[in-house]
């Protein structure tokens, strides 16, 4: 009889190896598409008249409609084949069955109470307290009662990306562990916004990594399986002549994706020669280069959507520093016969990292979008990260787990090498990284690794 440990290892291995299963948005028939080739990329509170320009820039939905939605706004978006997430009002209900020419719903979700965790403007002057979580939840259930076929979106403030209780915009009234889980229950899709490269606040200024920190915290506070999106800066929001570069915008985008965000909204408003808070900032002629870079970012994300949606396989690679100690975060993906490593530096000082990839012979490594290649030699390659910078790697081969001698076959030669590592812990004599096949943290060559070897026995590439 097979031992329980072996049975457990087998089923856990199958779990790690399996695809993600049902589409992310399948619970909502009129929600965002679950097509793996689709990744939501939106702009916040923009004029529908610019929808064609944003479509060219790789944007596929509008997040919010000023003082709307109105009939005029929705008709303009419909004609431009641009979806929207908007407030639920009588007009939205009238349009809830309206589709675009390709059959997608015009309205793919509803938003409510932007930044409820902030102090709220009082129309008569001054500030009111943050909106109670009970009010947000009540609004959520009211929306679901009126239309259960679309997800409800809620965007929180930058507080979740700040250190606990330090965001002045909350007035000291928000207790993170108490309040954030309750706010999240007022949503199907939760997001937040923080704009660290533009800010003047010493506790967050230039801390682009707080974008990823906020995403991580949302996942930490949310129920299992809750969908997390994020909002990204693009402009001189505060009018201080400081804004994220295109490379920094790209880094924030990939930080979000690597940490699990399933959709992005861009904040476009900012200082231009037209206005100190120009809602069309990135579309102005003076920002033509920024728009071109913004467009490249979006088209690259969209082209990699099926890779992004594939399961993380981070156990297939490790990274170490060759120079500098700035952290680099990464995600490993396997898709259609290729291995992808999405990576991004999380601090500004330059660093050089070496990546070691499991069970792939010497190969070329394409750095996507950068017109350069690296060499994978003896399972490793290295690259330099300067400032906040994302590098996306593609290797036209996949690991053959169990192929310890890198001949693209799993046979007795590999078993002999595996046996030489049996029960060895990392750092002990005989331990081989390629023999540590099971995706756990034990770093010991044991029964779980043997199960994986058996699963791949006889494989040839």
Residue 353, pLDDT score: 98
- Quick check: is 9 in a domain? no
What letter would DSSP give residue 267?
A: E
Q: Is 64 exposed, middle or buried (0-12, 13-18, 19+ CB in 10 A)?
A: buried
Residue 20 maps to a domain: no
Domain count, the chain: 3
Indicate the residue among 378, 395, 412 that finishes a domain: 395
Q: 166 and 66 share a domain?
A: yes
pLDDT for the residue numbered 21: 43
**Would residue 6 count as lying in a domain?**
no
443 and 425 assigned to the same domain? yes
**CA–CA separation, 83 vs 61, rounded Å?**
5
Which CATH number covers residue 379?
A: 2.60.40.1180
Position 449 in a domain: yes
Within-domain flag for 43: yes
What pLDDT is recorded for position 4? 47
pLDDT along the chain (461 residues), means of 10: 47 47 85 96 98 98 97 98 98 98 97 95 92 98 98 96 84 94 98 89 84 97 96 90 93 98 97 95 97 98 97 94 97 97 98 96 96 96 98 95 86 86 86 82 84 87 79
Q: What pLDDT does residue 443 have?
A: 81
Contact call for residues 364 and 375 (beta carbons, < 8 A): yes
141-147: long-range contacts (C-beta < 8 A, 24 or more apart)?
143/88, 143/110, 143/112, 146/88, 146/93, 147/30, 147/88, 147/93, 147/96, 147/110
Q: Which of 395, 416, 431 is the last residue of a domain?
A: 395
Contact present, 443 and 432 (Cβ < 8 Å)? no
Query: Residues 196, 234: one domain?
Result: yes
Q: Are residues 372 and 235 in the same domain?
A: no
Same domain, 122 and 168: yes
Q: Rounded CA gap, 153 and 108, in Å?
A: 10
DSSP strand pairing (61-63 vs 83-86): parallel
Residues 6 or more apart in contact with residue 213 via CB below 8 angstroms: 161
Nearest-angstrom CA–CA distance, 189 and 347: 28
The predicted structure's pLDDT at residue 3? 46
Structure tokens at 334: 């396997």
Between CA 140 and CA 84 the distance in angstroms is 18
Tokens representing 203 are: 């506790």
Q: Which of 352, 369, 395 is the last residue of a domain?
A: 395
Q: Return phi, psi of residue 228, to 5°.
A: -115, 130
| 235 and 341 assigned to the same domain | no
Kindly state whether residue 64 falls inside one of the protein's structural domains.
yes
Does residue 7 fall inside a structural domain? no
Q: Tell me if 414 is assigned to some domain.
A: yes
Question: Which residues fall within 8 angstroms of residue 4, CB to CB, at 6 or more apart?
Answer: none
Q: How far apart are CA 391 and CA 251, in angstroms?
A: 9
CB 342 within 8 A of CB 331: yes
Residue 425: strand pairing partners: 444
Could you tell me how far CA 160 lies from the centroid of its own chain?
A: 16
278/352 same-domain check? no
Any idea what DSSP says for residue 182? H
Q: Prior bond to 186 cis, omega within 30?
A: no
Domain range for 431 is 402-455
For residues 283 and 338, state if they share a domain. no
Residues 389, 368: Cα–Cα separation, whole Å: 13
Q: Residue 1: its pLDDT value, please?
A: 41
State residue 22's pLDDT score. 54
């Amino acid at each position: 009889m097979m031992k329980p440990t072996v049975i457990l290892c087998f089923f856990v291995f199958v779990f790690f190896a399996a695809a993600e299963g049902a589409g992310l948005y399948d619970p909502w028939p009129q929600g965002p598409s679950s097509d793996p080739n689709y990744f939501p990329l939106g702009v916040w509170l923009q004029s529908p008249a610019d929808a064609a320009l944003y479509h060219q820039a790789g944007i596929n939905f509008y997040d919010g409609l000023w003082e709307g939605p109105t009939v005029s706004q929705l008709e303009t978006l419909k004609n431009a084949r641009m979806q929207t997430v908007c407030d639920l009002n009588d007009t939205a209900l009238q349009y809830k069955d309206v589709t675009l020419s390709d059959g997608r719903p015009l309205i793919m979700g509803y938003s409510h109470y932007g930044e409820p965790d902030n102090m709220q403007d009082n129309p008569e002057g001054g500030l009111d307290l943050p909106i109670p979580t009970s009010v947000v939840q009540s609004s959520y259930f009211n929306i679901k009662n009126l239309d259960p076929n679309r997800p409800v979106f809620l965007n929180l403030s930058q507080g979740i990306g700040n250190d606990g209780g330090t965001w002045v915009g909350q007035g000291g009234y928000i207790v993170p562990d108490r309040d954030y889980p309750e706010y999240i229950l007022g949503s199907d899709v939760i997001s937040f916004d923080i704009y660290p490269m533009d800010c003047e606040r010493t506790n967050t200024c230039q801390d682009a990594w707080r974008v990823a920190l906020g995403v991580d915290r949302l996942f930490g506070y949310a129920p299992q399986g809750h969908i997390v999106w994020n909002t990204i800066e693009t402009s001189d929001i505060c009018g201080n002549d400081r804004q994220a570069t295109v490379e920094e915008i790209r880094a924030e985008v990939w930080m979000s994706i690597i940490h699990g965000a399933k959709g992005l909204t861009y904040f476009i408003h900012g200082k231009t020669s037209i206005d100190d808070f120009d809602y069309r900032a990135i579309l102005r002629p003076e920002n033509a280069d920024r728009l071109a870079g913004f467009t490249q970012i979006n088209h690259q994300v969209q082209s990699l959507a099926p890779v992004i949606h594939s399961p993380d396989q981070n156990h297939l690679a490790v990274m170490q520093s060759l120079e500098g100690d700035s952290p680099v975060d990464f995600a490993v993906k396997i898709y259609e016969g290729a291995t992808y490593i999405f990576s991004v530096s999380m601090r500004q000082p330059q660093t050089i990292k070496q990546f070691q990839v499991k069970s792939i012979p010497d190969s070329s490594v394409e750095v996507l979008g950068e017109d350069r290649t690296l060499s994978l030699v003896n399972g490793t390659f290295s690259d330099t990260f300067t400032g906040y910078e994302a590098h996306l790697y593609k290797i036209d081969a996949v690991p053959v787990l169990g192929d310890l001698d890198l001949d693209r076959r799993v046979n007795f030669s590999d078993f002999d090498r595996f046996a030489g590592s049996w029960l060895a812990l990392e750092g002990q004599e005989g331990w081989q990284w390629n023999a540590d096949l099971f995706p756990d943290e034990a770093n010991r060559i044991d029964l779980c690794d043997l199960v994986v070897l058996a699963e791949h026995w006889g494989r040839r590439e």
